[in-house]
C-alpha cells in the first residue's frame, strides 16, 4: 500500500509526464511520438545498418525504410489490440511468447535485407551472431516499454475501481449492521405500548415518545461517519429507560470516568453492545441489572458492563458475535472484547476496549 501511494504521489508531481502517458486526451500525441520513434529507428537502421549495401539498394532504400516503419506500426497496433488481452487476462505465458516473436521478427528484418542485397552475407558469422543477439535483447526490452503506459493506465483504473468497490462493500456492511440494531426491542415496545393505550395511556405515550427519539437518532445522526460519545450515551440512556419501562425487573446505571465530552466514535456503537446483554437475559429472572462504566484514558476508551441476573453465558457470547462483526468493520484490530464470570457475587463482566488512534 505504501509503494502504491508513493507511486501516485510521484506520478501526480510529474503531471505532464503522467498526463502524456496515461491521459486519453494525449492519445494522438502518444501515437505521433510512437511514429517518430519508429521513424528514427528505421532511418538509423538504413543509414548505419545498411551503410555497406546502400549503393546496391539505390532508391529502394526509401521503400525499405517506409515498409519497415509500416511493419513496426502494424505490429504495435496488433500488440495493443490483441496481445495486451493476454496480460489483462493473466495469460502471462502467451504474453511473453508474443514479445519474443515480435523481437525475433524485428531482428530478422535487417538480416532479410542483407540476404537480398549482399551475395556473400553469412548469418552465422561471429559478428552477425553477436549483432543479432544484442539487437534481439534490445527489442525484448523496448517492446514492453512501449506497452507499459497502457498497462499502467489499465492497472490504475482497475485499482481505483477495486478501491471504490471496497469502499462500497464496507459501507454496505455498515448499513446492513445498522439495520440489525434493535428491531426486536422496538417491536416489543410497540406491542407493549399498544396494550397500555387503554390501561395506562400516559405510560404508553411516554414509551412512544422515547421510541420516536431513538428512531430519529438512528435515522439522522447515524448517517454521519462519527458522532459525539455524549450523544451516543444519550441514545443509550433512552434505550435503557425504554427497556426499563416495558421490562419488569430490569434496572441499570451509567457512570463515566475521565474526559468524554470531545470524544468521537462510530454511530450506534454502544447500543448493540448493550443490547446483546439485554437479548441474553432470561425473561423469567426477577432481577436483571446492567451497570455500565464508560472510561476514557490516554486515547483508549473502555466500556465495562457488570451484569446481574444473567444465566446463559453461551447465549451472551453468541449475541456478542454480531457486535464483533460490526467492530471488525469499523475498528478492525483496534478493539478487544473480554467476558469474565469470576466475580464473587455471581456477576458477569463484559469489557470493551477501543483504541481511538
Q: Give the confidence band of 3 by pLDDT, cuts at 50, 70, 90.
A: very low
Q: What is the DSSP letter of 120?
A: T
Q: Give the confidence band of 30 by pLDDT, cuts at 50, 70, 90.
A: confident
257 CB-contact burial (10 Å; exposed 0-12 / middle 13-18 / buried 19+): exposed
Q: Give the confidence band of 289 by pLDDT, cuts at 50, 70, 90.
A: confident
- Give me the pLDDT at residue 2, please: 45
Model pTM? Answer: 0.50
Please report which residue ranges of the chain form alpha helices under DSSP H.
2-13, 15-22, 27-44, 54-57, 60-78, 84-88, 92-117, 126-179, 183-199, 201-219, 229-246, 270-280, 313-331
Tally of residues, the chain: 357
Q: What mean pLDDT is predicted for residues 7-28? A: 62
Mean pLDDT of the chain: 76
Q: What mean pLDDT is predicted for residues 109-126? A: 81
What CA–CA distance (Å, rounded) separates 169 from 75?
42
325, three cell numbers:
462483526
Which residue ranges form the domains of the chain, and what is each CATH number? 2-174 (no CATH), 180-355 (3.30.565.10)
Q: Give the confidence band of 293 by pLDDT, cuts at 50, 70, 90.
A: very high
Q: What mean pLDDT is predicted for residues 218-236? A: 79
Q: Assess whether pLDDT exceeds 50 at residue 180.
A: no
Residue 340, helix vs strand vs coil: strand
Q: Which of 131, 115, 147 is nearest to 21 (CA)?
A: 147
Q: Please check whether residue 303 is in contact with residue 296, taking contact to mean a CB–CB distance below 8 angstroms.
A: no
DSSP string for residues in 291-338: EEEEEEETTEEEEEEEEES---HHHHHHHHHHHHHHHHHHHTTSEEEE
Phi, psi torsion values for 352, nearest 5 degrees = -110, 125
Q: Assess whether pLDDT exceeds 60 at residue 179.
A: no
Q: What mean pLDDT is predicted for residues 278-298? A: 79
Of the spans 23-27, 107-111, 137-141, 290-294, which averages the highest pLDDT?
Answer: 290-294
Helix axes 27-44, 60-78, angle to 10 degrees: 140
Give the percent of the chain with pLDDT over 90: 3
What CA–CA distance (Å, rounded) separates 76 from 39?
14
Amino acid at each position: 500500500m505504501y509503494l502504491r501511494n508513493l507511486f501516485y504521489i510521484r506520478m501526480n508531481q510529474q503531471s505532464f509526464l503522467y498526463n502524456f502517458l496515461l491521459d486519453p486526451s494525449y492519445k494522438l500525441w502518444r501515437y505521433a511520438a510512437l511514429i517518430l520513434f519508429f521513424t528514427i529507428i528505421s532511418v538509423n537502421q538504413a543509414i548505419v545498418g545498411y551503410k555497406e549495401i546502400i549503393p546496391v539498394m539505390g532508391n529502394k532504400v526509401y521503400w525499405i525504410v517506409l515498409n519497415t516503419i509500416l511493419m513496426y506500426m502494424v505490429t504495435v497496433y496488433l500488440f495493443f489490440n490483441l496481445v495486451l488481452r493476454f496480460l489483462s487476462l493473466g495469460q502471462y505465458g502467451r504474453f511473453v511468447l508474443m514479445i519474443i516473436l515480435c523481437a525475433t521478427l524485428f531482428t530478422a528484418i535487417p538480416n532479410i535485407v542483407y540476404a537480398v542485397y549482399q551475395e556473400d552475407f553469412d548469418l552465422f558469422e561471429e559478428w552477425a551472431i553477436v549483432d543479432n543477439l544484442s539487437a534481439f535483447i534490445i527489442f525484448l526490452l523496448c517492446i514492453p516499454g512501449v506497452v507499459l503506459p497502457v498497462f499502467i493506465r489499465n492497472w490504475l483504473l482497475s485499482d481505483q475501481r477495486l478501491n471504490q468497490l471496497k469502499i462500497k462493500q464496507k459501507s454496505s456492511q455498515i448499513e446492513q449492521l445498522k439495520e440489525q440494531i434493535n428491531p426486536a426491542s422496538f417491536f416489543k415496545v410497540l406491542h407493549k405500548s399498544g396494550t397500555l393505550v387503554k390501561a395506562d395511556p400516559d405510560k404508553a405515550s411516554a414509551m412512544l415518545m422515547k421510541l420516536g427519539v431513538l428512531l430519529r437518532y438512528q435515522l439522522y445522526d447515524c448517517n454521519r461517519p462519527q458522532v459525539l460519545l455524549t450523544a451516543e450515551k444519550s441514545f443509550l440512556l433512552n434505550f435503557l429507560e425504554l427497556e426499563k419501562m416495558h421490562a419488569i425487573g430490569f434496572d441499570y446505571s451509567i457512570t463515566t470516568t475521565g474526559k468524554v465530552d470531545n470524544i468521537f466514535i462510530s454511530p450506534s456503537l454502544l447500543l448493540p453492545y448493550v443490547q446483546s446483554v439485554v437479548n441474553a437475559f432470561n425473561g423469567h429472572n426477577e432481577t436483571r441489572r446492567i451497570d455500565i462504566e464508560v472510561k476514557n484514558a490516554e486515547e483508549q476508551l473502555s466500556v465495562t458492563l457488570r451484569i446481574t441476573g444473567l444465566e446463559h453465558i453461551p447465549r451472551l457470547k453468541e449475541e456478542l458475535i454480531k457486535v464483533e462483526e460490526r467492530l471488525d468493520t469499523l475498528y478492525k484490530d483496534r478493539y478487544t472484547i473480554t467476558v469474565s464470570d469470576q466475580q464473587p457475587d455471581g456477576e458477569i463482566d463484559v469489557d470493551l476496549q477501543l483504541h481511538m488512534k
